[in-house]
Chains A and B, each alone.
Chain A
Amino acid sequence: AQTVTQSQPEMSVQEAETVTLSCTYDTSESDYYLFWYKQPPSRQMILVIRQEAYKQQNATENRFSVNFQKAAKSFSLKISDSQLGDAAMYFCAYSTGGSNYKLTFGKGTLLTVNP
Chain B
Amino acid sequence: GAVVSQHPSWVICKSGTSVKIECRSLDFQATTMFWYRQFPKQSLMLMATSNEGSKATYEQGVEKDKFLINHASLTLSTLTVTSAHPEDSSFYICSARSPSRGPTDTQYFGPGTRLTVL
- Chains A and B form a bound pair: no
